[in-house]
Structure 1
Amino acid sequence: MFQPLSLFIGLRYLRGRSGDRFSRFVSSLSTAGITIGVMALVAVLSVMNGFETQLKGRILSVSSQAIISQDANPITVSESAKQAVPLLGGVSRAEAVIESEAVLQSASKIAAIKLVAIDDLKNDPSYAFMMSPPFIEWENGSYQLVLGHLLARQLQVRVGDKIKLILPSASRFTPLGRMPAQRNFVVSGIINTGSEADRTLAMTHRQDLAKLMRYKPEQAQGWRLYFEDSFNVSKIATQYQAQGWQWQDWRNDRGELFQAVRMEKNMMGLMLGLIVAVAAFNIISALIMVVMEKESEVAILKTQGLTSGRVMSIFMVQGASSGVIGALIGGALGVALALQLNTILQFFDVPLFAYGGSLPVAVSSSQVLIVIIGAIALSIAATLFPSYRASQVKPAEALRYE
């Protein structure tokens, strides 16, 4: 089979002769370093992707991802009004919602909460995290609350217990002065999302909260939007704001948390990327030794008519081959490690109760491809200086004492 001369000689130098044990050892170390670096980078990024996806699913599914309204006044809820809400690209549906800061008081404890009031609990994403179905039918006039499990533990209440809801924002004038609206509710369900949202989350029927806030039964605070991807909120917000809608989304309450997670993920990628870079630039030392050892052979090739450019490509092939082999093997091992990480941790009896029994892992094929291409690019860059030095060998000086 036809093979370019530079490729043939470069691969032959990569394999080396039986006497070139030290050069082969240094070259193998470079390949192994790139393999380990790429494997670690792929595995860690996959775990970080899993944490980000899990956090998004658990927190953003139980909080209003976005609320739109035409003005500061309550909106009118009806099928015709709902049909008038534009569902732009990335938005799957819209439901009426009321949100308010509130206080819950049990027999022994008190806690500040974020109260979310919706019409249909079973079609809400938070229903998937219900520890047990509500024992009261979710309907107007039932005055029931669904609490996060950490909030329920803090208030020392269980399903079926009565609890007082206090709304400071809906105060009323009484003979004793201005008093916040309050009413007893029944705890009908517990939600466990496995996130910090469980400390402040409480949900009730929209019309029950509307009565306490002195809204009409057909009124709500706004329309709650459900997204196909919650992280596309910036683009969608611009489109709604351009049409004159008032916009409020999860970035107001949770934006800093996800920004911190994204920054941590980027920093982990950067630090592990530096390991790959160090391993790639080990190719420089290995190639420089090979060039010094092969000076006489390079001089002979030049006397046979090989140009400086082709000499340079020989050593680029040799150095880049280590990077390509290491990156491909490292990428494959990284994916395998990420997919079997929970099995390995269970084998070594590592407790994972804090993560729900297993680490979340999400392997991104595009991310793996970027890591592999980046490692190969660094390897090629590392070959430029030694290869250029080899191309500048002068046959007369190299063969003077041969």
Structure 2
Amino acid sequence: MFHPLPVFIGLRYLKGRSGDKFGRFVSYMSTAGITIGVMSLITVLSVMNGFEGQLKNRILGVLPQAVIAGDAELAPDVNTIAQWDGIVGTAPLVSTDAVVQSALSLGAGRLLGVDPQSKEPVRAFMVRGQFEALTAGSYALVLGRKTARQLDVSVGDKVRVMITSASQFTPIGRVPSQRNFTVAGIYDTATDVDGQLMFANLNDVARLMRLPRTQPADLRLFVAEPFDVPKLKVKAESLGYEWSDWRELRGELFQAVKMEKNMMGLMLSLIILVAAFNIISALIMVVMEKQSEVAILKTQGMKQRDVVYLFVVQGASSGVIGAILGGIAGTLLAMNINGIMAVLNISLLGNGISLPVVVKPEQIFSVVVGAIVLSLLATLFPSIKAASVRPAEALRYE
């Protein structure tokens, strides 16, 4: 098969001479370093993608992603808002902070008044009871598993719900609005949301909050991509609506996850960087060894740029091979990591819980291409150094 001369000689140098075991060892270690770095980076990023996606599904799926406050003077136009880009659904909502008391304990959380016939993601996480039991006038309540354990209650038990923001004056002083509710269901998202959100019927919560009948309910927005809410906020506020979204309750959590993901990516990228320095070291050794051969090639008419290409081919081949092998190995490892851990009897999360893994092709492509580009950059200095060899000086003592 025909190859351009720099490519042919570069690949020949890549194999090395049979007696140059140390040089070949350094070259192989450079390839292995890039392979391990790319494989580790793809695997860790895929697992972090899984955790991020799971948090988004379990937390942002249950939390109100965005809420436009209802106002008698400027009531949200449901039909118009539902047509906005990125909005996949709407539902009426009233919410307030509340204290809930059982016979044995006391807790607090966010009480959401919802329409049981409207879209409500928490239905998918119900473990006891029925969400549809939240009918108007029933004063039924759906609690998270964590809150239910704290209060030591189950379906059918009575609890007292108190709202301090709707207190009223009595002869004995200011008393919060309160009423007995019946626990109608328990949900479990396996996150701390289970200890914070409580659900009841929209009308029951409005009565407990003593809201005027003329005041419309807030409008809850379901967003296709929760991380796009800043754009929607700008649009809503430009129309005079009062806006709130999930970032006020959980923004710091996702910022922490994003920062941890970036830091893990940076740390593992250092492995690839170290391997790239190995390429520089290996190429410098080859350049020092091949000075006389380069001089002969230049006397035969090889141009400086061809000499540069020659050593770029040799050095970059290690990077390209390592990046491709690392990409394939990292993808296979990420897709089968739970099976491998099961065979080795390792459970990082305990109780046999599998690691969430989301493999993103565009992410793999970026990592592999980044490793190849870094390898190419690592070859430039030694290659230019080789091209600067002067034949007369290199062959003086030959």
TM-score (norm 1): 0.94
Change beyond 3 A, Cα 1:331–1:65: same
Q: Deviations over 1:194-224 (max 9, x none)?
A: 1111111211111110111122567544100
CA separation of 1:226 and 1:270: change in aligned 2, threshold 3 A = same
Q: Tell me what 1:250 maps to.
A: 246
In 1: Cα distance, 2:213 partner to 2:356 partner: 42
User: Quick one: distance in 2 between partners of 1:64 and 1:136?
Assistant: 19
1:239-277 Cα shifts (integer Å, max 9, x gaps): 222222211001111111111111111011111111111
Question: Is residue 196 of structure 2 the alignment partner of residue 235 of structure 1?
Answer: no
Distance 2:200 2:351 in 1: 28
Counterpart-to-counterpart distance in 1, 2:136 and 2:358:
41
State the match for 2:35 in structure 1.
Answer: 35
SS in 2 for 1:302: helix
User: Structure 2 matches for 1:379-394, cutoff 5 A?
Assistant: 379-394=375-390
Superposition RMSD in Å: 1.9
8 Å contact 1:145–1:204 — kept in the other structure? yes
* Distance of 1:142 and 1:391 partners within structure 2: 86
The answer as to whether partners of 2:117 and 2:132 remain within 8 angstroms in 1 is no
* Aligned twin of 1:3: 3
CA distance in 1, matches of 2:359, 2:314: 31
Counterpart CA distance in 2 for 1:335 and 1:44 is 11
* Alignment match, 2:17: 17
Q: Tell me by how many angstroms 1:280 deviates.
A: 1.2
SS of the residue corresponding to residue 215 of structure 1 reads: coil
Distance 1:40 1:353, change over 3 A: closer
For the 8 Å contact 2:38–2:327, the answer to whether it is kept is yes
Which amino acid in structure 2 is aligned with residue 44 of structure 1? Answer: V
Percent of residue pairs bearing the same amino acid type: 54
Kept in 1: contact 2:161–2:181 (CA 8 A): yes
What is the distance in 2 between the residues matched to 1:244 and 1:374? Answer: 46
State how far apart, in whole Å, the 2-side matches of 1:320 and 1:362 are.
Answer: 30
Equivalent of 1:187, from 183, 187, 207? 183
Aligned to 1:56: 56
Equivalent residues of 1:101, 1:167 under 8 A apart: yes
Structure 2 residue 262 is the aligned partner of structure 1 residue 266: yes
SS of residue matched to 1:116: strand
The runs of 5 or more residues in structure 2 that have no matched partner are: none
Return the offset for 1:70. Answer: 5.7
Question: 1:132 is paired with a residue of what secondary structure?
Answer: strand
CA contact (8 A) 1:99 1:221 kept: no
Task: Decide which of 348, 356, 362 is 1:360's aligned counterpart.
Answer: 356
* Distance (whole Å) between structure 2 residues aligned to residue 28 and residue 330 of structure 1: 14
Report if the CA contact (8 A) 1:102-1:115 is conserved: yes
Alpha-carbon contact 1:313-1:387 (below 8 Å) kept: yes
SS at match of 1:366: helix
CA contact (8 A) 2:86 2:225 kept: yes
Query: 1:63 deviation in Å?
Result: 1.1
1:6 maps to a residue whose letter is: P
Q: Deviations over 1:340-380 (max 9, x none)?
A: 11111111222355587111111111111111111111111
Q: Which runs of 5+ in 1 are unaligned?
A: none
One-letter identity of the residue aligned with 1:255: G
Q: How far, CA to CA, are the matches of 2:362 and 2:288 in structure 1? A: 40
Contact map agreement 2:59 2:193 (CA 8 A) in 1: yes
Name the amino acid aligned to 1:335.
T
Q: Distance in 2 between matches of 1:43 and 1:355?
A: 22
Mapping for residues 271-290 of structure 1, pairs under 5 Å:
271-290=267-286
For 2:69 and 2:96, the matched residues in 1 are separated by: 15
Q: How does 1:323-338 map to 2 (within 5 A)?
A: 323-338=319-334
Cα distance in 1 between the residues matched to 2:168 and 2:132: 29
CA distance in 2, matches of 1:227, 1:288: 55
Normalised to the residue count of structure 2, the TM-score between the two structures is 0.95
Alpha-carbon distance in structure 1 between the residues aligned to 2:388 and 2:304: 7
| Pairing 1:1-400 to 2, within 5 Å after superposition | 1-69=1-69, 71=71, 81-120=77-116, 123-134=119-130, 137-216=133-212, 219-352=215-348, 354=350, 357-400=353-396
* Structure 1: distance between partners of 2:69 and 2:107: 29
SS of 2:113's partner is strand
Q: Report the count of equivalent residues.
A: 398
Structure 2 distance, partners of 1:355, 1:235, is: 41
